[in-house]
Amino acid sequence: MILTVTPNPSLDRTYEIPALTRGAVLRAGADRVDPGGKGVNVSRAVAAAGHRTTAVLPLGGPEGTLLSRLLTGQGIDVAAVAVAGRTRVNVSAVEPDGTLTKLNAAGPELTAAESEALLAAAGRHAAAGAAWTVCCGSLPRGLDDGWYAELVARTHRAGARIALDTSGPALLRALAERPDVIKPNADELADAVGRRLVTVGDAVEAAEELRAAGAGAVLASLGPAGQVLVDGTGTWFGSAPVATVRSDVGAGDASLAGFVTAGGVGPDALAAALAHGAAAVRLPGSVMPAPADLRPEEVTVTADVPFGRPLSLPRTRPHPRSPEGAVR
């Protein structure tokens, strides 16, 4: 069983539009409402692949009720923690070339009691036989930067492995508790080490630093440049080219779901991550791929890492993080 923890879930409404014009009245060609939040997306992808999953998340208001109903309808066990605030609603506009404009609401502010209830629920369900706990996304108001570190510690005490997909100070503080896997993108990787990353080799070096700081493995998404995995089995590079991107909402979450359901270790897990991520971007909104959507024959994974290959979108401005915030 794969357990997910999403401290700031959402309802995601996606509109497909011909073009985004500021100040204009736009007519959508199609729209949909999906359960949202990075951990929620992981559960949706795990369920779509035919595996059992439980989603631990705070829910409030009619939005929370609808979110729970949508998840249950997708075969996901919902472990809801009731909160006083209302679950947020996010809005996305997707253009024909795949360009995404997203408005994310802040979400409710959790109390100290609600924070503890969420941690307790995660620990209780992890101890009930979870192979992995996957915790993802930004922290809502009311949870401090050490919340994920406490979740990692409690998950390990419950006997489960944990994959963490977050960024900034929350990621850096969690490293001390030695998460089994972390999944940064290129920008988050650069933020964590406090410097620009220009090549795949730079990304590998940064991943090695995060492993030295406590991460068991680093699965780094580099956008169109591919993905790298640095773990106890070695350093691996993979790619899965996609000719037409329909929507990249939730693609990274689908990738992480593929990784953990394939065991979460080594090149086979990386290949599964790439296949799931590539399938997700070919689908509308935040639809998660089913097995029939996967094209594993289009995935390439190798130990021959192209260290000199440029990243597609290197930073072109001074890095905002001070040296004191970087991992050394």
- Element holding 190 (H helix, E strand): helix 186-193
- Element holding 256 (H helix, E strand): helix 251-261
Nearest to 171, CA basis, from 50, 76, 163: 163
Q: Report how far residue 121's alpha carbon sits from residue 126's, in angstroms, rounded to the nearest whole number.
A: 8
Task: Please list the active-site residues.
Answer: 253
What does the pLDDT read at residue 325? 47
Torsion angle of alpha carbons 214, 215, 217, 223, nearest 10°?
A: -130
Place of tokens 């999944």: 183
Domain residue limits, the chain? 2-19+27-321
Domain at 2-19+27-321: CATH code: 3.40.1190.20
Neighbours of 211 (CB within 10 A): 17
Q: Report how far residue 111's alpha carbon sits from residue 142's, in angstroms, rounded to the nearest whole number.
A: 6
Q: Average pLDDT of each block of 10 consecutive residues along the chain (328 residues)? A: 97 92 93 91 95 98 97 97 97 87 94 98 96 95 97 97 97 98 97 97 98 98 93 97 84 96 98 96 87 96 97 47 44
What does the pLDDT read at residue 294? 96
Q: Report how far residue 260's alpha carbon sits from residue 1's, in angstroms, rounded to the nearest whole number.
A: 10
Cα angle 59, 182, 203; round to 5: 135
What does the pLDDT read at residue 321? 37
Q: Report how far residue 55's alpha carbon sits from residue 4's, in angstroms, rounded to the nearest whole number.
A: 5
Place of tokens 């080490």: 193
